[in-house]
Structure 1
Amino acid sequence: MVIRRIVGVRNGRPLYSDALGELVAVDETNLTVATANGTIVVPLSEVHRAKRVPPQRRPTAADVIALELAADAAWPAPIRAQLGDWLLRSADGWTGRANSALPIGDPDRPLEAAIDAIEAWYAERGQPALVNTPLPLAAPVGAALDDRGWTARPLTLVQTAPLPPLVIDGDVSGVSLAKAPGDDWLSIYEARKKSLPPAARQVLTAPPEVRFAHVYDGDTLIAAGRGAVVGEERRWLHLGSIEVLPAYRRRGLARQVTAALAGWAAELGATHAFLQVEERNTAAIALYGGLGFSTHHSYLTREQPLSGAPRDAAC
């Protein structure tokens, strides 16, 4: 279960803390929960909300493929090509996801020839070749890249959550949603990514159903986020670009942004949300876990070694 408890009050508003764990016991005054950090006792008077987290099952290959294609639709590269079923994507080098091959399905040629074609396609564009390998689905591709000495960026987790609990999770009165990002929204994101080329704006705004969340303190934008609703048979909300200025963190603003985007997506028929987060970003994973997100699958972004590196170099 996820237990949200009231831990104090600031400026007349309650402060919350979340605990994720197994419900061990319930009596007239307390909940006892076994968490990863030990067993805690939560007085019922402090419980604001509690919800059950459904048991996890390992996703099928079809589940992974469907979610990866949804992620591609939510973050669409402006330059695209196909290698059989595989996707080749380029966005002037802005973000790994929009500048990597996605090896799912049949490349319509032997594996080694497919990797050669990927290397040639990116070389023609003056970019290093990148390949996103969903695990364990693309493990054979990863093994072939190991043999070529390709390196790996930090592991990324693809996490999902049912949408309805997110919709009611927080006060959204201070969040405004727009069809296009304001200049201040773009400035916050540019500061994080260090650049914002024209291709970046295409990636951010291209999905047919997309919204940009803005939260202001006076004239200052203090929190932002982006949501895109994608998919046909199953409608997904992709959450990304959620940023809160350092001075305004730990006030629940990220939760408010998430709740506002979830409410909008629910009106369009979305039933689930997903996001990508690096495994090493423990603070974000804790936040998303408190919202009910759990890992669906993971992927590695593999990078071609610099020219001249030994082909059998270790990953």
Structure 2
Amino acid sequence: MTVGERVVVRYRLPQGSEASATDVLGMLRSRDEQSLVVDSAFGQVTIPRRDVVAAKDVPPPPSRPGPAHQRVGVADLELLMAKGWVAVEQSALGAWLLRSAPGFTGRANSALPVGDPTLPLDRAVDFVEKWYRQRDQKPMFQVAGPVDFDPADDEVGAHLLGRGYTAGVGHAAGERVHVMTAPLAGLPPLTEQSPPVTGDARLQPEWLMAYGESRTVVPGVTEGVLTGSRGQLFMSVRDEASGRIVGIARMAIHPGWAGIFGLWVHPEHRRRGIATALVSAIAMAARDNNMPSVYLQVSGDNTGAVAFWEQLGFTRHHDYTYLAPADA
């Protein structure tokens, strides 16, 4: 179990109780050799280690109607995804997450304003701006909302626009990023015709070289982000003739969820089922690890990629965009 994650703990009750054991569900506040401390809906619960029967991380709770992969709320899924792409430096402002990984992706170099920053909004934004400028970075916010949302309708987005921020400019992701989800059961399985896919829990130099064929690699920083999750798998497909890697994808491992990052196929090897095989391999690994839902993030400008994911059964869960000062 991981501190800060949502957990369920079954523990023994004192002799003479009506039941022999009970469960508590909430966020794991702390853990040591003597006890677990869980923040539940009914208050903080301290559980002696000797009384614990079973314990595990669990996915975010449902907050809206629909199939399982769509029921999780926008804020909860954003926080989950942030754990799948961890910046090399992170700091908390209340529930807000400040992230820095200089030169490598907007997700790892933006503030995620989800929840209560514990400061009035104007002072919270001041704090974020100072934090980034202390690191010689422009302040940038990743603001999320429903599909096709207008940042002006979001409390933080409206405040930033009022301070002269601009939405959807100055970043390679374009105006809007789609967060798409799918049920594991709906993803295509590997078949005898699928190209062989290899999975590695460690980031290998050859995988990183393939990653760098389509993206900027910042030595030390990129490796830190790619390996920063609580668990990840690096999938690859090799060309049979040359033996070189021609397709890659990264899988982030969460309680109940798998994340897909960095799917890429060499241009000379596209339309051969490699991308689908990589997704199928991730689905197989997710099934082995009891992760029934899958998420990914794709630029709304990349219509070809959006169509590919839709064909595999992914649907839009929500969108996000980046807001930065117009003069940054």
State whether TM-score is above 0.5. Answer: yes
**What per-residue deviation string (whole Å, max 9, x for no partner) do you get for residues 119-139 of structure 1?**
000001111111000114971
Aligned-residue offset at 1:56: 7.7
Structure 2 vs 1, CA of residues 184 and 156 (structure 1 numbering), >3 Å: closer, same or farther? same
Alignment of 1:44-123 (within 5 A): 63-123=73-133
Give the distance between the partners of 1:196 and 1:175, measured in 2 at CA: 26
Give the distance between the partners of 2:260 and 2:157, measured in 1 at CA: 27
Residue identity matched to 1:103: P
Partner of 1:205: 227
TM-score w.r.t. structure 1 length?
0.74
Q: How large is the RMSD of aligned CA atoms in angstroms?
A: 2.2
Matched, 1:190 2:190: no
Kindly indicate whether the alpha-carbon contact (under 8 Å) linking 1:90 and 1:98 is maintained by their aligned counterparts in 2: yes
Residue identity matched to 2:166: T
User: Which one scores higher on RCO, CA 8 angstroms, separation ≥ 6?
Assistant: 1
Alignment length (residue pairs): 250
Partner of 1:174: 196
Give the distance between the partners of 1:294 and 1:275, measured in 2 at CA: 10
Partner of 2:30: none
Kindly indicate whether the alpha-carbon contact (under 8 Å) linking 2:143 and 2:321 is maintained by their aligned counterparts in 1: yes
Aligned-residue offset at 1:264: 0.7
* Percent identity of equivalent pairs: 36
Aligned-residue offset at 1:185: 1.7
Matched, 1:257 2:278: yes
Matched, 1:282 2:306: no
Aligned-residue offset at 1:301: 1.1
Structure 2 vs 1, CA of residues 57 and 273 (structure 1 numbering), >3 Å: closer, same or farther? closer
Partner of 1:21: none
Aligned-residue offset at 1:194: 2.4
TM-score w.r.t. structure 2 length?
0.72
Q: Helix, strand or coil: the match of 2:97?
A: strand
Q: Helix, strand or coil: the match of 1:105?
A: coil
Kindly indicate whether the alpha-carbon contact (under 8 Å) linking 1:100 and 1:130 is maintained by their aligned counterparts in 2: yes
Aligned-residue offset at 1:59: 6.1
Structure 2 vs 1, CA of residues 94 and 219 (structure 1 numbering), >3 Å: closer, same or farther? same
Aligned-residue offset at 1:70: 1.1
Partner of 2:165: 150
Kindly indicate whether the alpha-carbon contact (under 8 Å) linking 2:194 and 2:274 is maintained by their aligned counterparts in 1: no
Q: Helix, strand or coil: the match of 2:285?
A: helix
Q: Helix, strand or coil: the match of 1:261?
A: helix
**What per-residue deviation string (whole Å, max 9, x for no partner) do you get for residues 55-101 of structure 1?**
789967x6111111110010011211111111111112311001110
Query: Which residue of 131, 135, 142 maps to 1:132?
Result: 142
Residue identity matched to 2:123: A
Query: Which residue of 241, 252, 269 maps to 1:228?
Result: 252
Unaligned runs of 5+ in 1: 1-53, 308-315
